[in-house]
Chains A and B, each alone.
Chain A
Amino acid sequence: AQRVTQPEKLLSVFKGAPVELKCNYSYSGSPELFWYVQYSRQRLQLLLRHISRESIKGFTADLNKGETSFHLKKPFAQEEDSAMYYCALIQGAQKLVFGQGTRLTINP
C-alpha cells in the first residue's frame, strides 16, 4: 500500500537552529510528493512540491528515491515557522494521502 510516514509527532528547535522534518514513503512507481503546512488558525496550504524543486520561505525538500525520503529542511529556523507540517503523496491522479503530521515549535 502507498503510505507516508512522518516519524516525529513533535519537533522543537531553537530560533536560528537548522530544522529537518522527516518524511518517508512507500510507493510503487514514480511518486509525486508535497509538503503542506497549517499555521495556527489558518487553512491547510501547500508549502512545496518535489517536481518544482523550489525553495519556499527558506524551506527545501529533495526527493531521495534510494532512501524513499522527502525530508523538509531549513538552515535557520524562525519563530513564524511554528506550525503543523504534513508530508503527502498523490495516489492515482486525485487522491492526496497525508502522513500523520509533525508539529514544529520554534523556541525563542
Chain B
Amino acid sequence: DTEVTQTPKHLVMGMTNKKSLKCEQHMGHRAMYWYKQKAKKPPELMFVYSYEKLSINESVPSRFSPECPNSSLLNLHLHALQPEDSALYLCASSQEGWAGGDSPLHFGNGTRLTVT
C-alpha cells in the first residue's frame, strides 16, 4: 500500500456537531500532517505528528483536536466549528520525522468539509 487514505471524502456538519476525520497510511512513515486548503488557496499547515508525538501546532483553534493513536493513523476531531472552517482538509505523511530531503510529503485526496 503506497497511499495515504482519508475518510470520509465529503462531510457536512452543523455548528453543534462533533465529527472526526481519519487518515491512514501503511508505508511505515514516521511523520503525519494535517493541512487545510481553502478554495483557490494553497494548503496551510495545521499540525504535525512525528513519531506519534505532536511536534507542531500552528496556533490552530481548539475546536480542532488532532490525535495520533499509532504511527499509521491520524485523526482530526472537530467540535463547534464555524462556517468559515469549511475547506478541504489534507493529510500527508513523510518517511522520516522531517519533510525534506529524501522524505518528501505524500498527500491523501482530502476530506471536503462543509459546516452549515
Chain A interface (Cβ < 8 Å from any Cβ of B): 32, 34, 43-46, 49, 51, 86, 90, 93-101
Q: Which of A45, A46, A97, A98: most chain B CB closer than 10 A?
A: A98
Residues from chain B with a CB closer than 8 A to the CB of A46 are 104-106
Besides the contacts A43-B4, A100-B41, A100-B42, what 14 more A-B pairs have beta carbons closer than 8 Å? A32-B101, A44-B107, A46-B106, A51-B100, A86-B43, A90-B100, A94-B31, A94-B98, A94-B99, A95-B48, A95-B56, A95-B58, A97-B45, A98-B42
Please count how many residues in chain B sit with their CB below 8 Å of the partner chain's CB atoms: 26
User: Are B107 and A94 in contact (CB-based, < 8 A)?
Assistant: no
User: Are B55 and A94 in contact (CB-based, < 8 A)?
Assistant: yes
Q: Give the total number of A-B pairs whose CB atoms are below 8 A apart.
A: 54
8 tightest CB-CB pairs across the interface, nearest first? Answer: A98-B42, A93-B98, A90-B100, A44-B107, A32-B100, A46-B104, A94-B48, A43-B109
| A96-B108 in contact given A32-B100, A86-B42 (Cβ < 8 Å) | no
Q: Which of B43, B45, B56: most chain A CB closer than 10 A?
A: B43
User: Are B45 and A95 in contact (CB-based, < 8 A)?
Assistant: yes
Measured CA separation A94–B93 after assembly (Å): 11
Chain A's closest residue to B3 (CB) is A43
Measured CA separation A93–B33 after assembly (Å): 13
A92 → chain B closest CB, angstroms: 8
